[in-house]
Amino acid sequence: MLTEDGKHLYVSYDEYHNLIEKLAIKIHQSGWEFDTILCLARGGMRPGDILSRVFDKPLAIMSTSSYRSEAGTVQGNLDIAHYITTPKGEIAGKVLLVDDLADSGHTLNAVIQQLKNNYAPITELRSAVIWTKGLSIFNPDYSVEFLPTNPWIHQPFESYDSLRPEQLIQKWSV
């Protein structure tokens, strides 16, 4: 649900999963065949996992991080892992890069440059996200929703960002 001022988008679990399914349909209908899904942790892990299951393709993971301050709402320096975790040895062939959104686009641009420069066995690379914001400098190959007002996206699991084990103990103690 987009707020009236266009500054916040609140997404339920059902809507989140529906959007991932719509992303799968777009990818499938493109006719592009790929070998591996590479998700960017953390945002791309949930969509990557679901797409991996739907397409029955191995899931590789690359960690990136840029949102650390103010409970993950302020973008900081971009860190990209030097290694990719994959069940098939080395990532190769046609790779679908998955993240949750193209926000500023800087992370996706930097990751794609790193992949092109350091992973010669990748023969083709395409990108898929749920949301693309209007301010993004990156245009993904597959996207479900374009957000021209650049809202902050409140994903259904963000409550875990501030939840700590002690609070869970308190919640579940009888």
Residue with tokens 């777009």: 26
CATH code, domain with 70: 3.40.50.2020
Contact status, residue 62 vs residue 81, Cβ threshold 8 Å: yes
Kindly state whether residue 155 falls inside one of the protein's structural domains. no
Kindly state whether residue 154 falls inside one of the protein's structural domains. no
Kindly state whether residue 106 falls inside one of the protein's structural domains. yes
Residues whose CB falls within 8 Å of the CB of residue 36, separated by 6 or more in sequence, listed in order: 57, 58, 59, 60, 86, 88, 91, 92, 93, 94, 95, 96
**Count of domains observed in the chain:** 1
Domain enclosing residue 116, as ranges = 12-147
Kindly state whether residue 153 falls inside one of the protein's structural domains. no
Kindly state whether residue 173 falls inside one of the protein's structural domains. no
**Beta-bridge mates of residue 96:** 37, 126
The pTM assigned to this predicted structure is 0.89
Question: Does the structure show a pLDDT above 80 at 67?
Answer: no
Kindly state whether residue 110 falls inside one of the protein's structural domains. yes
pLDDT value of position 94: 98
pLDDT value of position 41: 93
Q: How far apart are CA 68 and CA 163, in angstroms?
A: 15
Kindly state whether residue 101 falls inside one of the protein's structural domains. yes
pLDDT (tens digit, 9 = 90+) per residue, 82-107? 778 888 788 999 999 999 999 999 99
Kindly state whether residue 162 falls inside one of the protein's structural domains. no
pLDDT (tens digit, 9 = 90+) per residue, 124-169? 999 999 999 999 999 999 999 999 999 999 999 999 999 999 999 9
